[in-house]
Amino acid sequence: MTATSATSAASATTITPTAARVVDAVKVYGTGDTGVRALDGVSVDFPVGRFTAIMGPSGSGKSTLMHCAAGLDTLTSGTAHIGDTELSSLDDRRLTLLRRDRVGFVFQAFNLVPTLTVAENITLPLDLAGSKGGKGGKGDSGDKEWIDALIDVVGLRDRLHHRPSELSGGQQQRVAVARAFAGRPDVVFADEPTGNLDSRSGEEVLGLLGRAVRQTARTVVMVTHDPVAAAHADEVVFLADGRLVDRMESPTADKVLDRMKAFEVPS
């Protein structure tokens, strides 16, 4: 692991390292006449320490891109990389380890374990990793400090011993965000993380993702339909019909909305 820490990224005068990227990504579901070309030659990189939003109409391939970039699904052709690792070069076991150790996930449905407390849910990835021999180079005390800092970032210190059912939706999603970052992953992928939240809780979770990127120098890739959500990102990439059609730096909700309108097909 050389230039993948955000500190070195910030001080580097050369190219920013990428946390994740896909090159010429094609994904076809099914075969023949019924085949769907969900990704049609997408190349995109997600730089270290950046918050990127993926937008586009329903069915444009956003979730497919995220799943293939994160190693949850495989490409039909092209390559997907986490850091310097090309995912198709890994066998199933190595891919599972990579997902566990280097990638975090936040989904629309919070996916917390109902019988575990907030604290136990947050440390679950580390506990699972520990029971399988731990991860080289990341000591227990370092983990403890990191988790402690995360709990403050997500503002859950007074809820640590509650169960998910005793929390609001927004609080549950904050737990899911803390869990996604617990293993200090290279990149956190979030698919519509605010899709089940009211606008206020959604704002909290988005603010939190932004702070996690800026304060802890992590990388976040978020799929969203919502221009207000996308405005929290450093950059928006736009998909249409399985292709990358635009990128926007320093997005605002209004600018994103204008760009989205261009996709609308009059019916």
Ligand X SMILES: Nc1ncnc2c1ncn2[C@@H]1O[C@H](COP(=O)(O)OP(=O)(O)OP(=O)(O)O)[C@@H](O)[C@H]1O
Residue holding tokens 């997600």? 46
Q: Nearest CA to 78 among 19, 37, 31? A: 37
Interface with Mg ion includes 111 (CB under 5 A)? no
CB of 30 to ligand X, least distance (A): 6
**The one-letter amino acid at 141:** S
Q: Which is nearer to ligand X, 69 or 209 (CB)?
A: 69
Interface with ligand X includes 56 (CB under 6 A)? yes
Q: Which is nearer to ligand X, 52 or 64 (CB)?
A: 64
CB of 196 to Mg ion, least distance (A): 14
Q: Which is nearer to ligand X, 64 or 121 (CB)?
A: 64
Q: Which is nearer to ligand X, 30 or 207 (CB)?
A: 30
CB of 16 to ligand X, least distance (A): 26
Q: How far apart are CA 186 and CA 61, in angstroms?
A: 23
Residue 213 Ramachandran class (φ > 0 left, ψ -120 to 50 alpha, else beta): alpha
Interface with Mg ion includes 117 (CB under 5 A)? no
Interface with ligand X includes 169 (CB under 6 A)? no
Coil vs helix vs strand at 246: strand
Q: How far apart are CA 122 and CA 199, in angstroms?
A: 24
Percentage helix, strand, coil, to 5, in the chain?
Answer: 40, 25, 35
Q: Nearest CA to 177 among 112, 115, 128, 116? A: 112
Q: Considering only residues 10, 29, 94, 144, which one is a binding residue for ligand X as defined by CB under 6 A?
A: 29
* Residues from 215 through 234 that contact Mg ion (CB under 5 A): none
Q: How far apart are CA 4 and CA 17, in angstroms?
A: 6
Q: Nearest CA to 184 among 234, 96, 123? A: 123
Q: From ligand X, Mg ion, none, which one binds at residue 58 (CB under 5 to 8 Å depending on kind)?
A: ligand X
* Residues from 63 through 92 that contact Mg ion (CB under 5 A): 63
Q: Which is nearer to ligand X, 129 or 220 (CB)?
A: 220
CB of 192 to Mg ion, least distance (A): 7
CB of 72 to ligand X, least distance (A): 11
Report whether 231 contacts 251 (CB < 8 A): yes
Interface with ligand X includes 58 (CB under 6 A)? yes
Q: From ligand X, Mg ion, none, which one binds at residue 60 (CB under 5 to 8 Å depending on kind)?
A: ligand X
Using CB under 5 A, which of the segments 4-12, 14-22, 56-64, 174-182 binds Mg ion? 56-64
* Sign, Cα dihedral of 150, 184, 64, 230: positive
User: Which residues contact ligand X (rule: CB under 6 A)?
Assistant: 29-30, 36, 38, 56, 58-64
